[in-house]
Amino acid sequence: MATHRADLLADVRIVDLTTTFMGPYATMQLARLGADVIKVEDPKGDVVRGILDHDGTGLGPIFLSANHGKRSLAVDLKDSRGREVLLELIATADVFVTNMRPRALERLGISTEEILDRNPRCIVANLVGFGPGGRYDGTAAYDDVIQAVSGMASTQGGADGPPAYVKSAIADKTVGLVAANSILAALFSRERTGLGSAITVPMFETMVAFNLLDHQGGRTFDPPRGDTGYPRLLSPFRRPYATSDGYLGVVVYTDRMWLSFFDLIGHPELTDDPRFETITGRTQHIDELYRLVDQELRRHPSEYWKKALADADIPVVPVNSLDDLLDDPHLADVDFFESVEHPVAGPLRLAPYPADFSTGGTGGNAPPAPVLGQHSRDIAAEIALPPSTIQSLIDDGVLVETTIGVRS
């Protein structure tokens, strides 16, 4: 991958008042595309700083990944002087992003209306758990909560099993991507109108739309023509398949692939079976087909199937562990990982922004994730606060400034 910065969002300033996963993931995408993202933190810092932070530096691995490319302003928003610093900063911003609950923002006196009054060109993005006006409005929401209420957990558990969570913050990250996409659309609209706008991105509604795309099934129609659920995805036999000596990820999908697979296993007559001739029939009888794949793959070792299936142009891949990913040969071929030198955490190996652009790569020169308050003094100066005022705010603990030490 290219290692120089495309700066597609150069000169776009984003004030990021978000914590944990969803908001920081959204703004990290934009930082990777060249935006100046200012992470506004409580004097105690984003709680994610402490996850797996065994060195006590406030630079845990998740924080380092989700906040790469950002600057840190640590400010006490419970103090009126701190709130005014934030509002003055927002007045210079192209985008303000927050995942604070609306009532908490109101208590701080930071309303969408006030922001747009001060800065009519600002995009105000509110990332919330549940959309306004519904009975869940204002309810606290975390990834697990949204997986549960959006149907994700019950779908993962299957028809006969208890509900189960995806072992990834899938709701936070999915909604974060939708938020980043929405912010980019609003910025594009502003280029046409000259005016900012307010965006609300609700986690619940976003994940309901995400889940129903492939699982609304017969209830897409009104009146319904069948049940919810996409049988292929729900089949208990849709899983990494055991071979005689390991596991493989295999997908037999199209008419041609099934014909080839039936030939491979010595049952070409199945091609003419009315249950399997069309994708509609195969979907209705998917458990039988996938049980067949499961049984057949157990007969031979992985290397046999890798060659046989690849020769038949049927997708077959190894089942990587998380550790395997760090040494995956394809990722090495495309020079996927970035080597980053952090002044406190030391050498880092990070995943980059994954898309390439004809104008150049992105994110390679983005600064590493900041220590708490690393840029407080600089950012305060950028909004024209006098040096004496900045020092007074630091002395009073309204602004927190961290002097970072370079790792020897």
Q: What is the DSSP letter of 369?
A: P
Four-point Cα dihedral 157, 163, 164, 165, nearest 10: 120
Q: Mean pLDDT, to the nearest integer, of 176-197?
A: 97
User: Is the separation of the CB atoms in 147 and 166 below 8 Å?
Assistant: yes
Q: Mean pLDDT, to the nearest integer, of 300-304?
A: 98
2 pLDDT above the threshold of 50: no
Q: Which residues pair with 346 in a beta bridge?
A: 342
5 pLDDT above the threshold of 80: no
Helix (H) or strand (E) holding 156: helix 152-157
Q: Mean pLDDT, to the nearest integer, of 308-335?
A: 96
77-134 residue pLDDT tens: 999 999 999 999 999 999 999 999 888 888 888 899 999 999 999 999 999 999 999 9
Summary mean pLDDT of the chain? 93
At residue 41, what are phi and psi to the nearest 5 degrees?
A: -125, 150
347-384 residue pLDDT tens: 999 999 999 888 765 656 789 999 999 999 999 999 99
Q: How confident is the model at residue 6 (pLDDT cuts 50, 70, 90)?
A: low
The pTM for the full model equals 0.93
Domains of the chain from N-terminus onward: 13-211+331-400 (3.40.50.10540), 241-318 (3.30.1540.10)
248-270 residue pLDDT tens: 999 999 999 999 999 999 999 99
The predicted pLDDT at position 4 comes to 41
What residue type is assigned to position 373 of the chain? G
